[in-house]
Chain A
Amino acid sequence: MVLIRRFEEKAGQLYGLGLIGGFCHLYIGQEAVAVGIQSALTPGKDSVITGYRDHGHMLAYGIDPNVIMAELTGRGAGISRGKGGSMHMFSVEHKFYGGHGIVGAQVSLGAGLGFAHKYNNDGGVCVAYFGDGASNQGQVYESFNMAELWKLPIIFVIENNQYAMGTSVNRSSAEDQLYRRGESFRIPGIQVNGMDVLAVRGATEEALKWVQSGKGPILLEMKTYRYRGHSMSDPAKYRSREEVQEMRDKSDPIEGVKAYLTKAGVSEEEIKKIDQDIRRQVSEAADFAESSPEPDAAELYTDVLVEQY
């Protein structure tokens, strides 16, 4: 979680320096969601897919920060060779299937990954993350229907950070209790405190049990919050500073973890050490991302098609 926080802070700085371009969606505030869920999955077996706010999920899945940061800076060493950018990153090796820029697309695609798990009978489960805003897309419900109809092994995770760009859940959703959004498809839903990593982890374990026993999909609504703007160019006129400050003061997921660790007997020094290691790791990633070269010009024409015709 601290790695995600520091990584995202650094990405914000690099953006300010003009080293990262385009859209860049930071995960700060939501770290407990990806970490709590990813920690319950079996790497190499379960598959994960999300939207454009994807750095945190990748870090939580153990993907090298260097190649993620290098993708953000558009370098040839980036995980997508600099051709995807912040929103379009993938690691087939880790069964991380992106990184999708079209709001809601990852839900149907995730159902497809779940379909493949079931077809191959490989015991894997797909986790498809999407936002509160995405939960109003039609294809989400098309996917809910098929997933339940065919009992696909998939966990739908709504990361309800309460805003879709500048539109709050209440201004966009007739049913604002998003965990209920699967009801008419008979998909059970659980509302979870997404700022508490252990609550997230516990709910995920329950969800996995449900799905792995062949009962079909389940929906987790993670109540969370993003501290930063929607992307780097966010006027932040739709919510007050006080609202953000209050979340930071009262519900910060990292402070929460610290409290858990202290309670478990982990010393201040040990925590500091973790902090320092992470700072070093992140600054190395930034150096790597700044210093590695841009993609070769010939890369423009590669990877359009796999085969030659």
Chain B
Amino acid sequence: MGIEIKMPALSPTMEEGTLAKWLVKEGDEVKSGDILAEIETDKATMEFEAVDEGIVGKILVAEGTDGVKVGTVIATMAGEDGAEEAPAPAAAPAPPAAEPATEAPKKAESGTSKLATEARAQVADPAIPEGTEYAKITVREALRDAMAEEMRADDRVFVMGEEVAEYQGAYKVTQGLLAEFGPRRVIDTPITEYGFAGVGTGAAMGGLRPVIEFMTFNFAMQAIDHIINSAAKTNYMSGGQMRCPIVFRGPNGAASRVGAQHSQNYAPWYASVPGLIVIAPYDAADSKGLLKAAIRCQDPVVFLENELLYGRTFDIPKLDDYVLPIGKARIMRAGKDVTLVSYSIGVGLALEAAETLAGEGIEAEVIDLRTLRPLDTATVLESLKKTNRIVVVEEGWPACSIASEIAAVVMEQGFDDLDAPVLRVTNEDVPLPYAANLEKAALIDASRVVTAAKKVCYR
């Protein structure tokens, strides 16, 4: 019996990849552990090993092919006994048969897989002139372009972090920067978050413009002392003498099936600190425009990205030097019946919910806060005046959250405009579990947003 070799899923979020290179040819004998091919995923280029021994039969997907879906049969292999291989058509989707481990792992329906919804229709950013052309770009590329453009414009800007240079970024966000800017400006650090956060902060005090990447913000807990005590407070403590223009960036929030220590939203932590700017964009255009603004900003910025959004493609205006204002929320969809306030990955769910609600005759207005400190309360309160109802959507814990903050602001400053209590749609108040079903239960989804929106509309 021949064995089918299928496009493997090499990361939790991988859906397709590029078959970069075959390292074997038809007729080659392979042993388990031999490297069959190099596969480029959304995060990295990885080697793909043989699990079984045998002879390579037919290679069905040529090297250099892009967009090979996980599970596609890419080659066949005859077993060691030399039995005939049974070639399968390359295009056919993988049958869900019990197969060797080269098969793509069966994707469990988890909470995170639902979090990153498709990019949705949205209202154009008013900052973009009419008639502007758009290009398609992933959030990952948008972030990289923002850094590259700012590095070209200003020699003081450099990028430092774990695996940012030679590895091209743990999540491939810094891809290509080392090649363009060299090791003086794209610097791999040891695994030493507290230390390199301090080095970055000191370099900013010394006049440079560091962009410090945390592999994820979970690891920045070891560095939070420098972010808060050293970076955020110094300008104040020095009576305005000593600035600290630094960007701390990296993925934040729940990732897919990585459990509690690798899945947490720190937005409320940082957003509570005076002296910091906190930005958490949703789409590619905002990621680019706001990261460029963050790098130019004279204040320390915590820039919270989301791993599940890195691979999402959005429209981005084809404008030279696309910089957005910090501290301004964006109305993603106009509506008159209820306001859905969110940020980062929650915006996609709010937009999805808004579509469902539209089908039921409820017109939801969706606000992407984008900047969490300073918070654009004016845009929220303005929308409330129109809709008289607010639901906050946050992929994070409920207690002491951004949602709690919005609820407080709305109560203090918009009480007379409220026709219903403010509702918070947040993750469950538990560490994020690993099991797919529990993870799903713990995380927000669009249907919860729909339910909450209906509730405040008394429907």
Nearest CB in chain A to that of B231: its residue:
A109
For the complex, give the distance between the alpha carbons of A309 and B325 in Å.
8
For the complex, give the distance between the alpha carbons of A115 and B326 in Å.
29
Indicate if B132 sits at the interface (CB-CB under 8 A): no
Which residues of B come within 8 Å of A, CB atoms? Answer: 158, 184, 187, 189-190, 192, 194-208, 225-226, 229-230, 234-243, 274-275, 277, 297-299, 325-327, 371, 374
Q: Hey, which chain B residues are within 8 Å of A100, CB to CB?
A: 230
For the complex, give the distance between the alpha carbons of A273 and B162 in Å.
58
For the complex, give the distance between the alpha carbons of A174 and B228 in Å.
31
Return the contact of B199 from the options A49, A83, A88, A112 (Cβ within 8 A): A112
Q: Hey, which chain A residues are within 8 Å of B277, CB to CB?
A: 305, 309
Q: How far is the CB of B166 from chain A (nearest CB, A)?
A: 15
Contact A88 B240 (CB under 8 A): no
- Interface residues in A132-166 by Cβ distance below 8 A to B read 138-139, 142-143, 145-146, 149-150
Contact A88 B237 (CB under 8 A): yes
**22 interchain pairs, CB-CB under 8 A:** A80-B237, A80-B241, A83-B237, A83-B238, A88-B238, A90-B242, A92-B241, A101-B229, A111-B195, A111-B199, A112-B203, A112-B205, A115-B202, A139-B194, A139-B195, A139-B198, A142-B196, A303-B240, A304-B236, A306-B235, A306-B243, A309-B326
Indicate if A182 sits at the interface (CB-CB under 8 A): no
Q: How large is the interface on A (under 10, 10 to 19, 20 to 34, 35 or more residues)?
A: 35 or more
Given A105-B226, A111-B198, A115-B203, 9 other A-B contacts at CB below 8 A? A78-B239, A98-B238, A105-B229, A108-B198, A109-B226, A114-B202, A120-B208, A139-B195, A149-B190
Q: Hey, which chain B residues are within 8 Å of A90, CB to CB?
A: 234, 237-238, 241-242
Give the dominant DSSP class at A's interface.
Answer: mixed
Q: How far is the CB of B289 from chain A (nearest CB, A)?
A: 14
Contact A80 B202 (CB under 8 A): no
Indicate if A81 sits at the interface (CB-CB under 8 A): yes
- Interface residues in A90-143 by Cβ distance below 8 A to B read 90-92, 97-102, 105, 107-117, 119-120, 138-139, 142-143
For the complex, give the distance between the alpha carbons of A263 and B397 in Å.
71
Contact B198 A113 (CB under 8 A): no
By CB atoms of chain B within 10 A, which of A78, A120, A309 has the most?
A309
Contact A80 B275 (CB under 8 A): no
Q: How far is the CB of B379 from chain A (nearest CB, A)?
A: 13
Contact A142 B206 (CB under 8 A): no
Q: How far is the CB of B298 from chain A (nearest CB, A)?
A: 4
Return the contact of B371 from the options A78, A98, A309 (Cβ within 8 A): A309
For the complex, give the distance between the alpha carbons of A305 and B236 in Å.
8
Q: Hey, which chain B residues are within 8 Å of A142, CB to CB?
A: 190, 192, 194-196, 198
Question: Sorted from nearest, which 8 A-B pairs have the closest CB atoms?
Answer: A112-B202, A108-B198, A142-B195, A116-B206, A81-B239, A309-B327, A109-B202, A303-B240
Indicate if A302 sits at the interface (CB-CB under 8 A): yes
Q: Hey, which chain B residues are within 8 Å of A307, CB to CB?
A: 297-299
Q: Hey, which chain B residues are within 8 Å of A143, CB to CB?
A: 195, 198-199
Indicate if A47 sits at the interface (CB-CB under 8 A): yes
